[in-house]
Amino acid sequence: MSQYLITFLSALTDASSLFVAAAGLTLVFGALRIINIAHGSFYAFGAFGVTTVVGAAAGGWRFWLALVAVPVAVAALGGVTEVTVLRRVYSKDHLAQLVVTYALFLIFGDVALRVWGSAARSVPVPSVLGGSVTIGAGEFPVYDLFAIGVAVVVGLGLWTLLQRTALGWRIRAAVEDRELLASAGTNVPLLFTTIFVLGALLAGLAGALGAPLQSVSPGLDSSIIISAFIVSVIGGLGSIAGAAIGAVIIALFNTAGVLWAPSWEPAFIYLAMIAVLALRPWGLLGTAER
């Protein structure tokens, strides 16, 4: 029994960082109607940034500093990107938008390679979160529980932000009808910058959170963006709750694949996405695109 619980918890650990990344992607899409491929770059910057701040020293306060400072720095980069580039493509067709964010993805990819090199890096878990807890007959790492906890807090925080604050009210209004919102006196360009910064912050946080869980190397940007696409498309682009459901579904599919059909495992997530979209073309919690 405890074996199943541990397997389930490892799946949730995978889901946690994925959810935080996908939540940012889906939030930006919901309001700005842009699929930001460079979201993967922001994630990678988050992970690489943590390796720089933490350094080789295990444990200590540096990890906590990195967990806060790195996402904020990535968010700032997101703000600059939105103001200088993305703002110009909102009125263009979705092909132009995809190509522009892909161009940013390429540029950021080379920048990351320049700054951090091509060697794989690892981030030691801080000593407070090291070790593991005993669950029945098995052991489960404390850091993984921490990651799940952060994802839950982020999810609840986003829900509160969107449902209970004036900013959230405006973001939801921008999803519904941006012209009406503008004529009601809201500074929509500023709101869009804010949303994009928030999205980049989430990507940076997801990267920072995921850094100790994996080896940090080039190619992280491309692999996470594909997973985040799948998660947010399954959940329904624009839906935070959908991103949470999608992340858990994908993580469970992956785990099931590893357990029962290892040689077909990588195909599972794509089959899941194709199956969901064949039945519900707008994702589980999405609404039909106009």
Partner 1 sequence: MEPLTIKAARKERRVAPALAGSALIVVVLALLPLMMPAAPLLNVQSAIGLALFACATNLLIGYGGLVSFGQGAFYGIGAYVVALAWLHLDASFWVSLVCAPIVGGVVALAAGLLALRTRRLYFALLTLAVSQLFYVVVQQQEKFTGGANGVFGPIVPSFLLDPANGYWFTLAVVVVGLLALWQVTRSPFGMTLRAIRENRERAEALGVNVFLHQLLAFVISGAFCALAGVLFVVYDQSANPNLFNWTESGYPIFMAVLGGQFTFLGPALGALIYEQARDVLLASFTDSQLVFGVVLLVVVLVAPDGVAGLLGRGGRILAGRWRAIAPARLGGTPGGQADGADNPAGEAGQHETVAH
Binding site for partner 1 (CB under 8 A): 29, 35, 85, 88-89, 92, 94-96, 98-100, 102-107, 109-111, 113-114, 222, 226, 229-230, 233, 237, 263-267, 270-271, 273-274, 277-278, 281-283, 289
- Is 204:75 a contact under the CB 8 Å cutoff? yes
CB-wise, 100 or 125, nearer to partner 1? 100
Task: Give the nearest distance from C-beta 183 to partner 1 in angstroms.
Answer: 26
- Cα of 271 vs its chain's centroid, Å: 21
Task: Give the nearest distance from C-beta 24 to partner 1 in angstroms.
Answer: 16
Task: Give the nearest distance from C-beta 105 to partner 1 in angstroms.
Answer: 8
Distance CA 33, CA 69 (A): 28
Q: At what angle do helices 188-210 and 220-235 cross, to 10 degrees?
A: 120
Cα→Cα distances 213→131, 141, 145, 150, 198, Å: 14, 11, 12, 14, 23
Two tokens at 88?
């110009």
CB-wise, 40 or 46, nearer to partner 1? 40
CB-wise, 63 or 105, nearer to partner 1? 105
Cα→Cα distances 224→83, 109, 206, 259, 285, Å: 24, 13, 10, 22, 22
CB-wise, 103 or 120, nearer to partner 1? 103
Task: Give the nearest distance from C-beta 100 to partner 1 in angstroms.
Answer: 5
Sequence-separated (6 or more) residues with CB below 8 Å from residue 33: 90, 94
CB-wise, 192 or 229, nearer to partner 1? 229
Task: Give the nearest distance from C-beta 197 to partner 1 in angstroms.
Answer: 20
